[in-house]
């Protein structure tokens, strides 16, 4: 049986050659230069995969992909991009892509996608397993912390997410020799800072600024970018005053760290008209842990393997609440974007774990997991639906009724609407 074709949308000769060499002689790879030619191929049955090259700031590839997926929902799509900004994240989430690879892609990532998404494809030798490298390259670290990044499938040659220690806030002061001698941050729920085992307190504005700096670590952020982000109105009319306000808050952050830790070392450095954090030890944060766990989950899915319970449990426990839940989202659009993105990732993991438990008929454990998930975010209708399914499988009609009523109240309070037709159908079937 001949292998189906792989279509590459976008002009990139190097990537075209890489797709061809990664698949071997048996796999045909064809380049489609524009949306008109791609549209002409939509009714063809020969395409087994489509690869979209996203070249910022162009977004035509996402529109072409959405149109393609409407007619070919079963044909897997891979997006290759170097842009992990908030707007691109929203486009990725809506595009229907099965996987996302970093640009430039490498042969191991592409071969892994071929083996995962093209039925019957196998090339020997099989894809090598990723091996961790010593230390973390700046590119890998940037990918791990870039706001809006879709971590689901982004890979970097030779890089495996570090075995980050499981991080379970709230942070407690550990004034002893065993305390971690570095910076520990909790982004889920209330924002919390700990350095050298000591909890650090900041004023609100300083806290907002420091959270922005540490979330973008190790990137350097220009002075004007920070001034414009936090004092937008002032920057437009009086940029010097906005820069002065920035300096005041940075001074407060430096003094607070010095006074509360007893260290004279300054972790905020100014180089080439930009600010960045300079850390002596690796940064530990719950978001980094969550993203690393999510990537492991995606790797198991790509290989068609059952995902270990401990990975799924850690991911759910790490997500203690919404991203920076104590920050005013109406003031900072980047927080709202990340909240939506990370909440969406959490919902996917929660749905996957509860579904995996139901498939094993482990309904009581699935119900416990659903309750734990809903305690973090009660707005997840898909988890309410899973709980209804579990109670129905156990023959507990009164619990089905109670869970459905709880879902109705949640939908009314949060969204001023009723449950989806899918939820209502499941409820009606459970009572029949």
pLDDT (tens digit per residue) in 107-127: 777 887 887 778 777 654 443
Q: pLDDT grade, residue 376 (50/70/90)?
A: confident
380 φ/ψ sector (left φ>0, alpha ψ -120 to 50, else beta): beta
Q: Under a CB-based contact definition with an 8 Å cutoff, are residues 323 and 342 in contact?
A: yes
Between the CA of residue 217 and those of 38, 139, 360, what are the distances in Å?
Answer: 39, 11, 41
If you average pLDDT over every residue of the chain, what do you get?
A: 80
Q: What is the pLDDT of residue 250?
A: 96
Contacts of 374 (CB under 8 A, 6+ apart): 380, 383, 384, 387
Strands 5-9 vs 29-32: parallel, antiparallel or unpaired: parallel
Q: How many CB atoms lie within 10 A of CB 30?
A: 15
51 vs 4, residue with greater confidence: 51
Residue 112's nearest CA partner among 300, 290, 311, 294 is 300
Q: What is the pLDDT of residue 86?
A: 60
SS3 at position 99: strand
Q: Which token pair is 266?
A: 């300054």
Average pLDDT over residues 273-292: 94
For helices 286-302 and 138-145, angle between their N-to-C axes, nearest 10 degrees: 100
Q: Which token pair is 87?
A: 């707007």
User: With b meaning 16 or more CB within 10 Å and e meaning fewer, what string describes 78-111?
Assistant: bbbbebbbbebbbbbbebbbbbbbbbebbebbbb
Summarised one tens digit per residue, pLDDT across range 165-214 is 333 444 444 445 556 779 999 999 999 999 988 999 999 999 999 999 99
Q: Under a CB-based contact definition with an 8 Å cutoff, are residues 373 and 380 in contact?
A: yes
Q: Where would I find the H helices in 77-203?
A: 86-95, 107-117, 138-145
């Amino acid at each position: 049986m001949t292998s189906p074709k792989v279509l590459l949308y976008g002009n990139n000769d190097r990537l075209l050659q890489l797709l061809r060499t990664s698949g071997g002689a048996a796999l045909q790879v064809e380049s489609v230069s524009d949306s008109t030619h791609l549209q002409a191929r939509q009714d063809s049955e020969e395409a087994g995969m489509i690869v979209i090259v996203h070249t910022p700031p162009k977004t035509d590839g996402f529109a072409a992909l959405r149109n393609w997926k409407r007619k070919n929902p079963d044909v897997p799509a891979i997006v290759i991009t170097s842009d992990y900004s908030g707007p691109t994240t929203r486009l990725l989430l809506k595009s229907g892509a099965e996987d996302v690879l970093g640009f430039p892609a490498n042969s191991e990532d592409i071969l892994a996608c071929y083996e995962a998404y093209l039925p019957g494809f196998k090339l020997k030798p099989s894809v090598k397993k990723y091996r961790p490298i010593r230390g973390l390259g700046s590119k890998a670290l940037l990918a791990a912390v870039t706001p809006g990044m879709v971590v689901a499938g982004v890979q970097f040659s030779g890089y495996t997410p570090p075995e980050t220690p499981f991080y379970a806030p709230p942070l407690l002061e550990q004034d002893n020799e065993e305390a971690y001698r570095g910076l520990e941050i909790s982004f889920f729920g209330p924002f919390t800072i700990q350095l050298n085992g000591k909890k650090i307190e900041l004023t609100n504005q300083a806290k907002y600024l420091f959270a922005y700096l540490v979330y973008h670590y190790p990137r350097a952020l220009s002075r004007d970018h920070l001034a414009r982000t936090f004092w937008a109105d002032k920057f437009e009319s009086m940029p010097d005053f906005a820069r002065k306000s920035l300096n005041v808050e940075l001074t407060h952050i430096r003094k607070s760290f010095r006074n509360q830790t007893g260290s004279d070392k300054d972790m905020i450095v100014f180089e080439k008209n930009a600010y960045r954090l300079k850390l002596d030890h690796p940064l530990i944060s719950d978001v980094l842990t969550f993203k690393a766990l999510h990537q492991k989950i995606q790797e198991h899915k790509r290989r068609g393997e059952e995902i270990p319970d401990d990975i799924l449990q850690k991911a759910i426990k790490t997500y203690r609440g919404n991203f920076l839940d104590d920050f005013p989202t109406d003031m900072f659009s980047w927080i709202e974007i990340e909240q939506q993105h990370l909440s969406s990732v959490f919902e996917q993991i929660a749905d996957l774990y509860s579904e995996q438990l139901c498939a094993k008929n482990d309904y009581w454990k699935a119900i416990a997991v659903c309750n734990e998930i809903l305690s973090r975010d009660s707005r997840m209708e898909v988890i309410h639906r899973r709980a209804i399914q579990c109670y129905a499988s156990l023959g507990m009609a009164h619990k089905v009724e109670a869970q459905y009523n709880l879902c109705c109240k949640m939908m009314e309070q949060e969204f001023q609407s009723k449950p989806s037709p899918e939820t209502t159908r499941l409820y009606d079937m459970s009572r029949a």
